[in-house]
Amino acid sequence: MRGKAVIAGIGHTAFGKQPGRSTVSLNIEACRNAVADAGIEKNAVDGLLVKVPTSKVEMMYGQKLAEAMGMSPRFGGVFDQGGASNISMIAIAAMAIEAGQCEVALVTLADNPRTGSRHAYEKVWGDDADFGWSSVVAGYAMIARRYMHDHGDVSDIHAAIAMACRKHGADNPHAQLRLPLTREMYDASPWVVGPLRRDDCCLVSDGAAAVVVMSADRAKDLGVKAPVPILGFGQGNSSIDVPLREDLTETQAGVSARTAFAMAGLAPKDIDVAQIYDCFTITVAMTLEAYGFAPKGKLAALVKEGGFEVGGALPLNTSGGLLSETGMPGLQLVLEGVRQMRGFSSNQVLDAETCIVSNQGGIMHTHSTLILGRQ
């Protein structure tokens, strides 16, 4: 399947506050822009896959969105894997197209936790609420504390990740937070749930993003200007909740990446630029190690001399990621991967020919990986 499917178009809304806008309307704006970017007509689309909005889970959301778009797609619905859903849905679309189930699919995501409800991110955890166990950030903090116990102080690595994302976001005119971060600012950043600081945590954002997936052949027929080949994809689900995970610092991210690398016929050394899901800095550190960019606990070598910034050993999150561009859960990273492969990022990595993108959901419960190439 390597290279058989392409991302033919990308679209997004403004990021930040979108008061009064429903997720349906945000999804439609992103889809409108993605279809226009692909240079195709609405009636060419016969697949519609959408991530359920985390802030307000609704039954049959995929059908509700299709109705609002005046569509009766051959293939469509919702996939529920949290932030990993985006890449998983791109993979499902590519496989559905290969299997003749549809020809052109829209994969879309919208949410409005900034002006809508943040309940999903600040919720209390069931029967354990009486211990004060609440919020998504605390789950990641549990993992981060254990990681630091096992592998030593990681504040240099966390700071380098946050600083790279914020530097890249500052160069992105669409980014929600365009304030570069210095090491002094990072060290002075207040604790939210220790050992995680405010600047270790992603933004909270309204907005939407969408991509158009089709076969490389169909893209040629339709005269798509800048199709980006999908070289590989994979997923892995830890599923087990954080307190019960035998090793808190192990996830299925490596399984996901190995599946994607095998499909693409590539290895970590072949990757030119990375868009790594950065809901929290610890997530980036653990993902890079699981992907094989550094042995476990040995990321420090990559961090030296701006290794995560454009020009460094592994430029990452070149549009600013969740820490700086938008807190939207993940599809914006795929959009930036597409821009890098087209050669039109606001932080373009010179001659980049491969980009790896990670998505994940829950508290490292789910993971998905996408490898993009250059046409």
Task: Please give the residue ranges that form the binding site for another protein (CB under 8 A).
Answer: 122-125, 127-135, 138, 141-143, 145-146, 149, 190-195, 242-244, 248
Q: Are 235 and 368 in contact (CB under 8 A)?
A: yes
How far apart CA 342 and CA 316 sit, in angstroms, is 16
| Pick 222 or 364: Cβ nearer another protein | 364
How far apart CA 46 and CA 68 sit, in angstroms, is 15
Shortest distance, CB of residue 35 to another protein, whole angstroms?
39
Shortest distance, CB of residue 145 to another protein, whole angstroms?
5
Residues in the chain, total: 375
Shortest distance, CB of residue 316 to another protein, whole angstroms?
26
Shortest distance, CB of residue 206 to another protein, whole angstroms?
20
Shortest distance, CB of residue 3 to another protein, whole angstroms?
40
| Pick 142 or 299: Cβ nearer another protein | 142
Token pair, residue 42, equals 């609405």
Q: Are 16 and 176 in contact (CB under 8 A)?
A: yes
How far apart CA 135 and CA 123 sit, in angstroms, is 5
| Pick 131 or 351: Cβ nearer another protein | 131
The CA-atom distances, in angstroms, between 74 and each of 71, 114, 222 are: 9, 33, 19
Q: Measuring CA to CA, which residue among 339, 70, 54 is closest to residue 208?
A: 54
| Pick 153 or 217: Cβ nearer another protein | 153
| Pick 120 or 170: Cβ nearer another protein | 120
Shortest distance, CB of residue 162 to another protein, whole angstroms?
18
How far apart CA 306 and CA 315 sit, in angstroms, is 9
| Pick 239 or 375: Cβ nearer another protein | 239
Longest CA–CA span in the chain (Å) reads 60
